[in-house]
Amino acid sequence: MLQTILVEAFTDAFQKSYNRNPDLQYVNFQKTRPEFEGDFTIVIFPFSKDLKMNPEVMGQVIGEKMVLNHPLIVGFNVVKGFLNLHINQTYWFQFIEQVIEKEDFGSNQLNIGKHIVVEYSSPNTNKPLHLGHIRNNLLGWSVAEILKANGYQVTKVNLVNDRGIHICKSMLAWQKWSNQSPQEAGLKGDKLVGEMYVRFDKALKEQTAALVAEGESPEQAAKNAPLMLEAQQMLRLWEGGDEETIALWKKMNDWVYDGFDITYRRLGVDFDQFFYESDTYLLGKSIVMEGLSKGVLFHKEDKSIWCDLTADGLDEKLLLRSDGTSVYMTQDLGTAEQRHNIYNPEKMIYVVGNEQNYHFDVLKLILKKLGRDWANDIEHLSYGMVELPQGKMKSREGTVVDADDLMDEMIQTARQKTEELGKASQLSEQAADELYHQIGLGALKYFMLKVDPKKTMLFNPAESIDFNGNTGPFIQYTHARIRSIIRKAEESDIDFLSKTQVFELNQHEKHLLKLIHHYPSVVVQAGEQLSPALIANFIFELAKEFNHFYQTINILKENNLHNRSLRIKLCLLVAKTLKHAGGLIGVGMPEKM
């Protein structure tokens, strides 16, 4: 690998020049900045500061020795504290041949034998998936694919929150105001159950307001409202195993699962294993009782069970209510234990919004207090919320953007814009429909994933589907343009796959090659940072650079056969890289547009 060769060459030159080894944490070569001449650059400042020497003088000394001692390095220049190296042209031509032959360029085997569990989606079975779930699902799925590309064995898991007071609210509302199946109501199962949840909340607010008008405080009214008391009684019946309550719960959850499956398939995400809160909360309860017996946890006067975290700078955390029913933390203790026992992974990554930062701090701390050393293997991939131009979404009020409706809108917008631009005029009706789906979903996924996961993002559907700018359709169109060039070359019987004679590359060719050369490092970095945004922004930069190359350089009309062959190969390499990178973020690359 070139990075390894450069590090060794620099270390050797440094040792021979100063009779000591450099601090390896600073021996890192990056792609040379556009304003400098060169291929790869290392910053000299940290070394000059350590040795109290002029960085330009050090760069000159080390550069001379690197050129003298290694044939791969054919020249250098020093700009202030930056040592810029020129790489032998032969290396770039060898790199081209290697990439063309490599089936999975960008993937690596760095972490073979290491296992990571990635949890994402984790929906509640009281409502359909919405815009916030879309970011969660796309982020979790993409992180899992990026980790796979870095050699990890990855298990994608979905913890379904299928029990609790919120589920009972939908069940109670259905009993009171519906009693229809999804088929009878003409709705997907998850949407029918979601409507019941909204119906319950509306009626509960009316009851609460009436109690407040009679003189109760808002807090008392919320607890004493008849609907809330009925929902709590239903939860107790469920945890007590009441047959009628369990039968209704199973029936309504099955409706929701059928609806979820449709949405997951359309979105292009999948899972290796499903876990259910209804299975794990009992294990969580047993862990709580274990902690109580060891004196790690304690009873309050009402018999509820708590963990005192005040000495750790947090507060007291409820783990079991006074009536014996569990809370989210209870089942998360059980789920974590179960996954550790099943997989014994290097890491358990939870893709959950940043409003749950405190929850995961508490989860890890309680597990440590209970003697689970593997709690340190838990990593919370905390991501920012998705907001719309009109503000935040609220599930209880029914003001969320439904995932299915959004996908329909994206596909329809893709159809409209593609037809306006005439980009599908030569396609059959079926091929055009497939293209609209690919563009619409590609726009959605790219827009969601190009933003750093930690940042709150504003989603604008119209902006996401523009064919110009930093969008999925711009990148997809670039890939389709390249595939058109390749097809024309093949139709003209141009032999571009034979080994090309070495010659001096121009700056446009070199820029493209250096970007492609950098791609495997981007994949490694994206895996380390759990950030699909690094992949997304890389392919935008690559697509932008290719379009500049396309507008500036003759490709098929080039008279010099060696130059023409090289440029077609470069097109092939760009398309190959776009397709591999697009696969890591779920963005399909069309052959024609």
Above 60 in pLDDT, residue 362?
Answer: yes
Helix, strand, or coil (residue 159): strand
For residue 215, the model assigns a pLDDT of: 94
For residue 395, the model assigns a pLDDT of: 43
For residue 77, the model assigns a pLDDT of: 97
For residue 1, the model assigns a pLDDT of: 75
In Å, what is the CA distance from 585 to each residue of 149, 159, 531, 537, 580? Answer: 12, 22, 10, 11, 9
Alpha-carbon distance 306 to 318, whole Å?
5
| Topology of the domain covering 415-584 | Isoleucyl-tRNA Synthetase; Domain 1 (1.10.730)
Above 80 in pLDDT, residue 55?
Answer: yes
For residue 119, the model assigns a pLDDT of: 98
Q: Are 216 and 149 in contact (CB under 8 A)?
A: no
Q: Are 49 and 39 in contact (CB under 8 A)?
A: no
- The neighbouring-strand residues paired with 79 are 82
Instruction: List pLDDT tens digits, range 1-25.
Output: 788 899 999 999 999 999 999 999 9
For residue 493, the model assigns a pLDDT of: 93
Q: 99-126: buried (b, 16+ CB within 10 Å) or exposed (e) per residue?
A: beeeeebbbbeebeeeebbbbbbbbbbb
Please name the amino acid found at residue 290. E
List alpha helices for 466-531, DSSP H. Answer: 472-491, 507-529
For residue 417, the model assigns a pLDDT of: 87
> Regarding predicted confidence, which is higher, 228 or 427?
228
Share of the chain above pLDDT 90, in %: 82
Is the dihedral angle over the CA atoms 344, 347, 353, 358 positive or is it negative?
Answer: positive
Above 80 in pLDDT, residue 578?
Answer: yes
Residue 351, phi then psi, degrees to nearest 5: -90, 100
What stretch of H or E contains 467?
none
Q: What is the mean pLDDT of residues 49-62?
A: 94
Count CA within 13 A, CB hemisphere, residue 25: 1
Homologous superfamily of 2-87: Arginyl tRNA synthetase N-terminal domain (3.30.1360.70)
Instruction: Say if strands 305-308 and 378-383 run parallel, antiparallel, or are unpaired.
Output: unpaired
For residue 39, the model assigns a pLDDT of: 94
DSSP state of 271: -
Tell me, yes or no, if the pTM score tops 0.75.
yes
Closest CA to 394 of 552, 553, 202, 188: 202
For residue 427, the model assigns a pLDDT of: 83
For residue 390, the model assigns a pLDDT of: 61
Share of the chain above pLDDT 70, in %: 98
Residue the block writes with tokens 């760069």: 59
Closest CA to 394 of 586, 159, 197, 180: 197
| Average pLDDT of the chain, as a whole number | 93
Q: What is the mean pLDDT of residues 439-461?
A: 93
Residue the block writes with tokens 């019987």: 493
Closest CA to 587 of 545, 512, 551, 537: 537
Where exactly are the structural domains of the chain?
Answer: 2-87, 120-387, 415-584
Q: What is the mean pLDDT of residues 263-276?
A: 96
| Topology of the domain covering 120-387 | Rossmann fold (3.40.50)
Alpha-carbon distance 266 to 551, whole Å?
36
Intra-chain end-to-end CA distance of the chain, in Å: 36
Alpha-carbon distance 246 to 253, whole Å?
10
Instruction: List pLDDT tens digits, range 121-146.
Output: 999 999 999 998 999 999 999 999 99
Q: Are 567 and 557 in contact (CB under 8 A)?
A: no
Instruction: List pLDDT tens digits, range 376-426.
Output: 999 999 999 888 776 554 444 445 688 999 999 999 999 988 888 887 778
Q: Are 266 and 407 in contact (CB under 8 A)?
A: yes
Q: What is the mean pLDDT of residues 272-277?
A: 94
Q: What is the mean pLDDT of residues 505-509?
A: 91
Angle between helix 472-491 and helix 429-449 axes, rounded to 10 deg: 130
Q: What angle do CA 538, 582, 352 make, to 5 degrees?
A: 85
pLDDT band at 256; cut points 50, 70, 90 = very high
Closest CA to 477 of 434, 523, 540, 519: 540
What stretch of H or E contains 387?
strand 386-387
Instruction: List pLDDT tens digits, range 56-114.
Output: 999 999 999 999 999 999 999 999 999 999 999 999 999 999 999 998 999 999 999 99
Instruction: List pLDDT tens digits, range 522-568.
Output: 999 999 999 999 999 999 999 999 999 999 998 999 889 999 999 99
